[in-house]
Amino acid sequence: MEKILYLMRHGETEFNVRKKIQGWCDSPLTEIGIQQAKIAGTFFSNNQIEIDHAYSSTSERASDTLEIVTDNQIPYRRLKGLKEWNFGAFEGESEHLNPPIPYGDFFFFFFGECEEQMRERLANTLKTIMDSADHQTVLAVSHGAACRGFMRSWAQNQQVDQKSRLKNCCILKFIYKADEFHLVDIINHDFSQIQEQLGPIKSMQSHNTKKQPEDVS
């Protein structure tokens, strides 16, 4: 039987704006991030998608995003297995200290995770979720690098271009069948109305986050 997983990245955070490395450390959603989550929520309502179970990373930026997206109408569980890549000693430091992509095992040698550990953690967590009884249409809110790593783990099954950027509140739609995930869509939202609502200063702050080396945090 086919099931559907909507894997989502959280909204813009203070560390995104300040260009800080943000893995297991946390920072709150900005006002723009809050508005992004509200717009992302309309994707589900406009398409009459009924989520039967919801999960988020234990990081507040992810759980806050989920609560806004669902308008606090769906109970959910917070799972450590959905957390961002652990960047070890680089947590909270400037993004210019990031190594060249791909990161591979780099952060493992600085008390963090290697890429394979992060991918395995996400895969095990999401497979456990999707194998649960009465889980047909699931929303899970996680993080940029975690979503990207999970997507790459199932590259052989993808039906869309995996090079697409995973912007804040991006949604990855997977079909889960026969113990495998198949990526069928990447949904990036139109946030142009946020610029009109919040004015040029907030828009400039958001624009400055769009050139990160990878879809992290």
Q: Per-residue pLDDT for the chain (217 aa), expressed as one digit of tens each?
A: 899 999 999 999 999 999 999 999 999 999 999 999 999 999 999 999 999 999 999 999 999 999 999 999 999 999 999 999 999 999 999 999 999 989 999 999 999 999 999 999 999 999 999 999 999 999 999 999 999 999 999 988 877 877 778 999 999 999 999 999 999 999 999 999 897 777 755 544 554 444 444 466 7
Rounded Cα distance between 165 and 144, Å, is 10
What's residue 159's pLDDT?
A: 76
Domain boundaries, given as residue ranges, for the chain: 3-207
What's residue 205's pLDDT?
A: 52
Instruction: Please report which helix (H) or strand (E) contains residue 42, including its range.
Output: helix 31-46
CA 110 to centroid of chain Cα atoms: 23
- pTM to 2 decimals? 0.91
What's residue 200's pLDDT?
A: 59
Return the CATH number of 3-207, one of 3.30.390.10, 3.40.50.1240, 3.30.465.10, 3.40.50.300.
3.40.50.1240
Whether 144 and 215 have beta carbons less than 8 Å apart is answered as yes
Strand positions, DSSP E, the chain: 3-9, 53-57, 76-79, 137-142, 171-177, 180-187
The candidate with the shortest Cα–Cα distance to 13, out of 63, 55, 54, 56, is 63
